[in-house]
Amino acid sequence: MVKIKVCGITNLEDALAAIEFGADYLGFNFYPPSARCVTPEQAHEMIARLPAGIDKFALFVNEPRERVRDILAAGGAAGFSGVQLHGEETPEYCRGWDVKVIKAFRVKDRESLRSMADYPADYYLVDSWAPGYGGSGAPFPWSWLDGVKAEKLILAGGLTVGNVAEAIRLVRPYGVDVCTGVEARPGVKDHAKLKAFISAVQSA
């Protein structure tokens, strides 16, 4: 079964709905320019009220390791299961974490994927390129992933209930990641879209 990650969680209601509908992973954004950015206090307050068994990832863009470690440590044992590194972090930066690591690659062309094998990570997330590290809301050509090993691949970038089944059929990824495609407005999920998206993944 393809894993489902719902990113850009900003409130408890959206987090609980995603879990109820069948999400496997939740993403919390700590990139200040993003409309979906939350504070460490907000994130840990939400996480403390979530049921056990759901993996939570903290998303960072080019942050000092010390700040990342501080945010992870603040949640204690019930905190984050992993980090999502969404900037120009180096392969060396990706080493040495005691949580799971998702390294994101912003795909502008086929060349954007060339360095993926150099990075030590548990998963590789491929997202559409957009200025300023934000989601573009549009997919990139999935044919660019031909030849890329899909076992650890999380597909993102413009996925919606209308195209996610086709994306899974073509790419066969380990998981899919959705944010913009299930929003009512930036930072707030549309629960009907969220439920329909997760159902489409589960039946793909």
CA distance 20 to 120: 32
Say how many domains are in the chain.
1
pTM of the shown model: 0.94
Residue 54 pLDDT grade (very low, low, confident, very high; cuts 50, 70, 90) = very high
Residue 89 pLDDT grade (very low, low, confident, very high; cuts 50, 70, 90) = very high
List the catalytic residue out of 14, 24, 127, 177. Answer: 127
Name the one residue in this structure whose structure tokens are 């990641």: 177
Domain containing residue 127: 3-202
Q: Any idea what the CATH number is for the domain that residue 150 is in?
A: 3.20.20.70
Is residue 98 among the annotated active site residues? no
Is residue 179 among the annotated active site residues? no
Nearest Cα residue to 126 out of 108, 107, 151, 150: 107
